[in-house]
């Protein structure tokens, strides 16, 4: 019997992308898996339409938006309750290849010291180009590893450890590791939850892997628009919270310095280019609240 895998998809007011994601999951060539949709307080008409399109789908309906961490934690606890060996977290703007789960589980079964792994994540509209092969720590921030590299030029064949961590877009987690490391930190609400979890897992001696023969295609920020006020706020606040929580003072101070200099200049440039410089205030609100240690959902 293959290990039981629960594939958990989190939805928030995104009918079409969620539908595409669920359809791709239905076509997996892995036998022992279940699909669980966690709806994070979407409009009732969207939830009903999903039920109409997928009448046999198991759905948990949260009464309000619990964020990435809270929503996924609800699904994770349900999966563990039903005896899942692994949990496959998947963004609803991602499309999986048929063999992705089989290839991920195979690697996990061969490496008991691995807490989680991720597939090679490529752009949905440029399928020969990598979006993420994990992350790397660069100038005080976890950046996407091998981003925008052409697959044929990298020639990755075997599973490897990423320089820093994994991304939560598509991640297979061992449930026994969750029992030891814990759930996602719900105080973050949105963004960097998987970064925090990966740091905690590595501190406990676990390894993390990227599996290049498992591929997922990502539409990239279909749910959370890049440079929206929510993105700008949580990306800065939560990284400072994660750094303060997990790093020693020298590394935390370095992270804070790079956030106030390199990262600030980066977002200033991006917003000026888009003629949206007024949005920089949300990034600065995030920095302020991160330094103050504020947590949870923010009123933006």
- Domain ranges in the chain are 5-218, 229-292
Separation in Å, CA 27 to CA 2, 6, 59, 263:
17, 15, 19, 41
Token representation of residue 14:
């995104």
pTM above the 0.85 mark? yes
Which fold, 5-218?
Answer: Spore Coat Polysaccharide Biosynthesis Protein SpsA; Chain A (3.90.550)
Token representation of residue 159:
């599973």
d(CA 48, CA 251): 48
pLDDT tens digits, 118-143 = 999 999 999 999 999 999 999 999 99
What are phi and psi for residue 163, nearest 5 degrees?
-60, -35
pLDDT tens digits, 192-228 = 999 999 999 999 999 999 999 999 999 986 555 678 9
Mean per-residue pLDDT for 6-22?
A: 97
d(CA 92, CA 214): 18
d(CA 267, CA 260): 11
pLDDT band at 156 (very low <50, low <70, confident <90, very high): confident
pLDDT tens digits, 56-76 = 999 999 999 999 999 999 999
């Amino acid at each position: 019997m293959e290990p039981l895998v629960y594939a958990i998809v989190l939805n928030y007011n995104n009918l079409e992308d969620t539908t595409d994601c669920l359809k791709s999951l239905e076509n997996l060539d892995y036998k022992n898996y279940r699909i669980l949709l966690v709806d994070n307080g979407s409009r009732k008409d969207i939830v009903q339409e999903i039920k109409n399109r997928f009448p046999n789908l198991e759905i948990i309906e949260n009464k309000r938006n619990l964020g990435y961490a809270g929503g996924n934690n609800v699904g994770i606890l349900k999966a563990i309750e039903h005896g899942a060996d692994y949990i496959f977290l998947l963004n609803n703007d991602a499309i999986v290849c048929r063999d992705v789960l089989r290839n991920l589980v195979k690697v996990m079964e061969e490496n008991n010291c691995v807490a989680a792994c991720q597939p090679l994540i490529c752009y949905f509209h440029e399928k020969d180009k990598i979006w993420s092969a994990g992350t790397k720590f660069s100038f005080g921030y976890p950046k996407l590893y091998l981003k925008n590299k052409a697959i044929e030029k990298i020639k990755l064949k075997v599973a490897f450890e990423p320089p820093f961590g994994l991304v939560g877009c598509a991640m297979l987690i061992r449930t026994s590791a969750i029992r030891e490391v814990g759930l996602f930190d719900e105080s973050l609400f949105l963004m960097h939850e998987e970064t925090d979890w990966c740091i905690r897992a590595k501190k406990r001696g676990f390894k993390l892997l990227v599996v290049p023969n498992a591929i997922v295609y990502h539409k990239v920020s279909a749910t959370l628009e890049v440079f929206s006020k929510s993105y700008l706020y949580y990306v800065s606040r939560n990284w400072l919270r994660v750094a303060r929580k997990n790093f020693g003072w020298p590394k935390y101070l370095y992270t804070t310095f790079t956030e106030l200099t390199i990262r600030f200049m980066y977002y200033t440039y991006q917003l000026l280019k888009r003629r949206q410089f007024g949005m920089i205030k949300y990034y600065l609100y995030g920095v302020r609240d991160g330094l103050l240690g504020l947590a949870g959902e923010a009123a933006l």
